[in-house]
Amino acid sequence: MKQFSYKDYPMRLFGAPLAGTETPFFRLPEEIRSSVRETLSGLGRRCPGARIGFRTDSRKFGVKVVLEQVNFDIGMSVFEAQSAEVLVGDRRSPYYCGFCCPPDYSTTEFSGEFTKSGDMEDVLILLPRNETVKDIVITTEDGAEVEPPTPYDGKPVIFYGSSITEGGCAAMMNSYNSIVSNRLNIDYYNFGFSGNCRGDLILADFFAGIDTSLFVYDYDHNADSEEMLAATHEQFYKRYRELRPDVPVLFMSMPRERYEQFNITRRAIIRKTYENALAAGEPVFFLDGETFFGERDRYLCTIDGTHPNALGFYRMAEVVGNKIAEILGK
């Protein structure tokens, strides 16, 4: 078998903003992690949404994953939180080739073997969302051809939000931004910070330094109060807009039930930021999170009334994906 590091040609690491640095699987650089609260800093050491892509005609191939540690997650099993999932074929409609994950919470190195057709096809490995990845090794058959992956269209999209943006609580391939990425063939960066999307201005500065086609701004859930959201939501947007005057911004509110007063209040705060920007002639759009799950069987879309399951994410992807396609002209 031929062996490739994730760093070797023709492997390509997508969705990793620090790719090519000494910490390619981190989302936030040291200068930011050292200046923010400990929980946000820790979340910056993992990289949900990171993917490794390549093309091969190898019928059999292997994936080995090395993690720094494996942590228990009360809302997700190792099948969802620590697994590497493999998709094969055209990204717009790939087939599921399998996954590998640790057998327990003490095993940090694990691997899987996979079988596909002997045709030259794209392979996409979705890396674990909940842990710090230390290394990825791919193996193919000795006589197989291995090529660079099919490129994505255009510039990446940035998603900034809470644990929902991060992918909780479903398998990584079922997160709404992953589904949208595949359907539209767009690269993306996942800046979902579980419990820690709080409009930190240092992140607005960091995001502005990334060349992107669209900024999806889903700051809502993690503000400690309506007062905090009102004080920080538009402030964060204005900071980003000052540095990136031409990038379209899609505002989103949380997918919670419509009759809760705090949700009504929060939605109004987000709409105010949007309407002020729209009145100023800035390229902005808005999606009401209340619409994400539809009407029929709405109660089946979350695990706890907040975090989407696979069905909830699928329905979110329908709504959000259609809006992103409209904005990007796809």
Strands 60-67 and 109-115: antiparallel
- Pick the more confident residue, 51 or 77: 51
Mean pLDDT for the stretch of residues 73-81: 83
Residues 160-207 have pLDDT tens digits of 999 999 999 998 899 999 999 999 999 999 999 999 999 999 999 999
Distance (Å, whole) CA 19 – CA 151: 16
- In the chain, the amino acid numbered 174 is N
Is residue 263 scored above 90 in pLDDT? Answer: no
pLDDT at position 259, please? 67
64 beta partners: 111, 137
Task: Please say whether the beta carbons of 146 and 60 come within 8 A.
Answer: no
Is residue 245 scored above 90 in pLDDT? Answer: yes
Cis, peptide link before residue 10, omega less than 30° from 0: yes
pLDDT at position 262, please? 77
User: How far, in Å, are 11, 83, 230, 271, 295 from residue 160 at the CA level?
Assistant: 27, 23, 18, 17, 26
Is residue 42 scored above 90 in pLDDT? Answer: yes
pLDDT at position 172, please? 87
User: What's the pLDDT band for 280 if we cut at 50, 70, 90?
Assistant: very high
How much of the chain, in percent, has pLDDT values that exceed 90?
90
User: What's the pLDDT band for 257 if we cut at 50, 70, 90?
Assistant: low
Domain 2-147 in this protein, CATH class: mainly beta
Query: Model's pTM, two decimal places?
Result: 0.97
Distance of CA 6 to the CA centre of its chain: 19
Domain 157-328 in this protein, CATH class: alpha beta
Residues 103-155 have pLDDT tens digits of 999 999 999 999 999 999 999 999 999 999 999 999 999 999 999 999 999 99
**Domain coordinates in residue numbering, the chain:** 2-147, 157-328
| Structure token pair of residue 310 | 């696979």
Taking all residues of the chain, what is their mean pLDDT, rounded to a whole number?
Answer: 95
Mean pLDDT for the stretch of residues 47-57: 97
Mean pLDDT for the stretch of residues 23-33: 97
pLDDT at position 77, please? 84
Mean pLDDT for the stretch of residues 227-253: 98
User: What's the pLDDT band for 72 if we cut at 50, 70, 90?
Assistant: confident
Cis, peptide link before residue 169, omega less than 30° from 0: yes
Backbone angles phi, psi at 268, to 5 degrees: -65, -35
Mean pLDDT for the stretch of residues 287-315: 94
pLDDT at position 73, please? 83
User: How far, in Å, are 11, 175, 285, 292, 317 from residue 323 at the CA level?
Assistant: 31, 17, 9, 12, 10
